[in-house]
Structure 1
Amino acid sequence: MFPGFGTLVNVATVLIGSAIGLLLGHRLPERTRDTVTDALGLVTLLIGGLSAVEVTSAVLSGAVGSSAPVLIVLGALLVGGIVGSLADIERRLEGLGSWLQQRFRAGGSQSRFVEAFVSSSLVFCVGPLTILGSLSDGLGLGAQQLLLKSTLDGFAAIAFAASLGVGVMASALAVGVIQGALTLIGVLIGDFLPDAHLAAITATGGLLLVGVGLRLLKIKSVPVGNLLPALVVAPLLVQLVVVLR
């Protein structure tokens, strides 16, 4: 094992799962593919909700007080959303998807490719296992969390690709870049992030996953990409509250 091994496995499972999904997708009626997408959206809501419950963590409450965790998550989403919207992260993600479509000369609708790339990238990269697993891998604590995530992502990629198309395969690039960067951060900073800060990141990431689920279910097109900076703001707010207490 070496730092980055978990990410390499994760990229491979996304590619393999996407390839299997593409082979199955042409043989499935549209109503079946839509049902698969809806099911994946519901499961994403479940995972997001379970992660968001981390806002009630005793470790987080002990560090910032019982009334502060929800306010920290709220503040992280507000500040992160403002930063993300000013940087126009959502549009840049869509622009990357369009560039990849032209690069790969993928067939089908451009908007469908972009939606597949953005939605699957966010599902694969926003969850708590992405952050915790990549940091653990970089810190030399093992790649077990990323190996678990790889298994989940592989099955999710099958479902995504069967219903959304080749754009899901391109999300392997996002997985490699984001998890690789987080692994490198883990290598550089060492074991430094306290449990309370990780709990805040997990709760905030859970709410972002809820936003992804709403997009998949076509309930609300939440600009989750613009909210991604909240994952950085959350631990900073925890540290600010700890200092001020």
Structure 2
Amino acid sequence: MDGPVPGAGTLINVVAVTAGALIGILAGNRLPDRVRDVVTSCLGLVTLLMAILSALDVTAPELEAAVGRGAPILVVLAALLLGGIVGAYLRIEERLEALAGVVQRQVGRLVRDRGAAHGSAHEARERFIEGWLTASLLFCVGPLTILGSLSDGLGRGIDQLVLKSALDFFAAIAFASTFGIGVLLSAVSVAVVQGALTLVGVTLGSVVPDAHVAALTATGGLLLVGIAFRLLGIKQVPVGDLLPALLLAPLLVSLVSALR
């Protein structure tokens, strides 16, 4: 039986963000802290399960045949170590976290300069823009966005994007209850960014060997473990700093294969 059509995961994500934003707008207030904590913990546990299933690709026969018996784990380890060093040196996690604040400040300053005499209209516009920017950055920047969209395009399933859709649904409720209708526009951002990444996955799927895809998936699975730990409040793993490992894992497979 054929899998989902490429792009189905992004479509589900767009619907989830839209539905969550509409509910948040209608609700007009945030979810109670107790409810939000329970939902976050449930999503963290499911993320951990997804991470384990992805990480098990380290045992894929294609990967072992390409790099040798016992080497797949070393390839993933090397990718994480080297990728983490590069990411920490470039301060990717810190820069991603600061990006939203920088953009909001610049937009806020621009709006104030141009609309100081517009009173409540100016405030509504600023609130709309901030809601769109904040939600777009949250929904479009992160390992689940990259991993899920690439996995969708590579034909390896939409499970990760379905999980991300659940996360984004509840986040959209909270953001829309604060920022209003501007959060709805972030659904367009999700469609554009994840659609482009899915297209990249479709393109790579025709040229990248199964061994390279397995290494990418296994490495991504460990990044998902980091996301699960963050959701569960166990440890704030700097997953952003580890993102370069996703590029290094397939490259290391090629290198090891060539040296054998």
- Calculate the TM-score normalised by the size of structure 1: 0.75
Partner of 2:142: 122
Larger Rg computed on CA atoms: 2
For the residues of structure 2 that align with 1:172 and 1:201, how far apart are their CA atoms? 28
Structure 1 segment 26-37 matched on structure 2, within 5 A: 26=29, 28-37=31-40
Change (3 A) 1:50 1:100: farther
Partner of 1:74: 77
Partner of 2:193: 177
For the residues of structure 2 that align with 1:153 and 1:15, how far apart are their CA atoms? 10
Percent sequence identity is 41
> In structure 2, which of residues 147, 163, 166 is the aligned counterpart of residue 155 of structure 1?
166
Q: What displacement does 1:59 show?
A: 1.5
Q: How far does the alpha carbon of each residue in 1:25-49 deviate from its partner, in whole angstroms, 9 at most, with x for none?
A: 9364210111101111111111111
> In structure 1, which of residues 97, 102, 111 is the aligned counterpart of residue 100 of structure 2?
97
Change (3 A) 1:47 1:98: same
Partner of 2:114: none
- Between stretches 74-83 and 171-180, larger displacement belongs to 171-180
Q: Are 1:65 and 2:68 counterparts?
A: yes
Paired AA for residue 122 in structure 1:
G
- Between stretches 165-174 and 190-199, larger displacement belongs to 165-174
For the residues of structure 2 that align with 1:30 and 1:116, how far apart are their CA atoms? 23
Partner of 2:115: none
For the residues of structure 2 that align with 1:172 and 1:90, how far apart are their CA atoms? 24
Q: Are 1:227 and 2:242 counterparts?
A: yes
Structure 1: runs of 5 or more not aligned: 108-112, 137-143
Q: What displacement does 1:153 show?
A: 3.6
Paired AA for residue 220 in structure 2:
G
Q: Are 1:207 and 2:222 counterparts?
A: yes
For the residues of structure 2 that align with 1:171 and 1:95, how far apart are their CA atoms? 22
Partner of 1:131: 150
Partner of 2:15: 13
Partner of 1:41: 44
CA contact (8 A) 1:42 1:213 kept: yes
Q: What displacement does 1:180 show?
A: 0.7
For the residues of structure 2 that align with 1:203 and 1:10, how far apart are their CA atoms? 24
Q: Are 1:85 and 2:88 counterparts?
A: yes
Change (3 A) 1:239 1:75: same
For the residues of structure 1 that align with 2:188 and 2:233, how far apart are their CA atoms? 24
